[in-house]
Structure 1
Amino acid sequence: MRIILIGLFSIFAVFMAPSTPALAQSGDDAEAAERRVGPVTGYPLPRYVTMRATEGNARRGPSRSHRIDWVFTRRHMPMMIVAEHGHWRRVVDRDGAGGWMHYTLLSGERAAIVETDMLPLYARPDPTSTIRAHAEVGVTGHLDECVPGWCMMEVGGYQGWVDANAIWGVEPGEVFD
């Protein structure tokens, strides 16, 4: 058996980091947040998207006249949309950094960031199946589908099932194909 190690290939640039309010909620507030939908799109909030552009400005408010707080330079980076206003989406990354971005800079494609070092990519959604590769912490990969507890992830040309709790970019129990 050959084990392939997939490393961190690129980093995003950040400028003038503001503090970001915590998104954590508890009890009934968390359940209400899960049922929220965006007033513009009607899609659920929060939801995950990716950067469509190779560079995107995250602004203090929802217009081009607002100050740029962050510049993201990592295409296909997963982000979470937490609010909508007209053509603008309030996004945060896995560290809670972000701001308002124009919707044309974002894509509905799904990706995730590996949160566990040496994350195994399995042949099937079963921890006893063959390991196809390992991914290092911080690596970003494309998500093809998710079933309860598992996601099919493509990283560095290798594809396999990963533990959904070991990545950032999917909600607990989320299912899609």
Structure 2
Amino acid sequence: MKQMDFGKQALLIIDYTNDFVATKGALTTGKPGQKIESNILTLSEQFFQNGNYVILPTDLHDGVDPYHPETKLFPPHNLKDTWGRELYGELESWYQSHKDEDHVYYFDKNRYSAFANTNLDNFLRSRRITNLHLTGVCTDICVLHTAVDAYNLDYQLTVHKDAVASFDPIGHSWALKHFENTLGATIV
């Protein structure tokens, strides 16, 4: 992977958990999600070593909530205190060895977008971060909704096409085009 000049930027690793990536995950992307692990790890270390933020917005559900809109759409996933909610593969180890660092920020989210019902926008603005690099899963769900909100909040976007995945190949391809053609994102 090419070395990049990061400037004042942050890497978002969206929902890269066992339930979304592992073979036995409740709502898994399977092989496409597993295939991007090394790219996510490389980017994590590059951003961290360059003094930029590595941010891990991670889906959290607390049982079956009849009022949550996802309950009607998807099986239970990313449940509190379960194996399914742990970060997938080596990212869990990377996070555990960096979690006390100032430039690593893990937070819970309960909607598709990492901005909905969270302090992410305030967190980024207080650190004068204006450029976001998006990775994770699912390209056409949580990554997409985070990108749309980021665009509407005037963040510059870069999507790493070899570090996003979906269980829907058509949705994945559509989202990559949408990032570039509608949100003005740079696709690398």
Q: TM-score range by the shorter chain?
A: under 0.3
- TM-score, normalised to structure 2, is 0.23
Q: Greater strand percent: which structure?
A: 1
Considering Cα pairs closer than 8 Å and 6+ residues apart, tell me whether 1 or 2 has the greater RCO. Answer: 2
- TM-score, normalised to structure 1, is 0.24
